Amino acid sequence: MFILVLNENNVVQNGKNSTLVYKFPNSIKLTDKYIAVSSINMFYSWFNITTALGNNVLYFQWDSAGPVNTIIIPDGLYEISQLNHFLQFYFIENGYYYIDSNGTNVYMAEILLNTSRYAIQLNTFYNYDAGSLPANLSLPASFPGYPAQRQNPVLTFPANFNAIVGYTAGFSSNPNILNAYVPPSPSTKAQNYVAKSTIGTLSYLSNLAPQVQPNSNVLFSLSNINSPYSQPSSVLYSISPSVGIGEQISEVPPNYCWVKLVDGTYSQLTLSLLGNNLQPLTLQDANMTILLVIRDEKEAAWASK
**Cα dihedral 132, 138, 140, 144 in deg (nearest 10):** 10
Where is the domain boundary, 139, 172, 205?
205
Whether 293 is in a domain gets the answer yes
**Pair (98, 199) in one structural domain:** yes
Whether 34 is in a domain gets the answer yes
**Pair (94, 196) in one structural domain:** yes
pLDDT, position 303: 52
**Pair (101, 238) in one structural domain:** no
Whether 51 is in a domain gets the answer no
Whether 199 is in a domain gets the answer yes
Whether 67 is in a domain gets the answer yes
The C-alpha atoms of residue 235 and residue 219 are separated, in whole angstroms, by: 6
pLDDT tens per residue across span 205-217: 999 999 999 999 9
Whether 52 is in a domain gets the answer no
Q: How many domains does the chain have?
A: 2
**Pair (274, 153) in one structural domain:** no
**Pair (109, 151) in one structural domain:** yes
3-state secondary structure of 73: coil
Where is the domain boundary, 205, 232, 254?
205
**Pair (226, 194) in one structural domain:** no
Q: Which residues contact 108 (CB under 8 A, 6 or more apart)?
A: 91, 96, 97, 124, 125, 127, 152, 153
**Pair (105, 161) in one structural domain:** yes
Q: What is the largest CA-CA distance in the chain?
A: 86
The CATH number given to whatever domain includes residue 223 is 2.60.120
**Pair (164, 105) in one structural domain:** yes
pLDDT < 70: residue spans in the chain: 300-305
**Pair (191, 220) in one structural domain:** no
**Pair (61, 168) in one structural domain:** yes
Whether 157 is in a domain gets the answer yes
Whether 210 is in a domain gets the answer no
Q: Is 166 left (phi over 0), alpha (psi -120 to 50) or beta?
A: left
Where is the domain boundary, 171, 205, 239?
205
Full domain range(s) for residue 113:
57-205
**Pair (229, 269) in one structural domain:** yes
**Pair (87, 143) in one structural domain:** yes
234-263 burial, b for 16+ CB within 10 Å, e for fewer?
Answer: bbbbebebeeebeeebebeeeebebbebee
Q: Which residues contact 116 (CB under 8 A, 6 or more apart)?
A: none
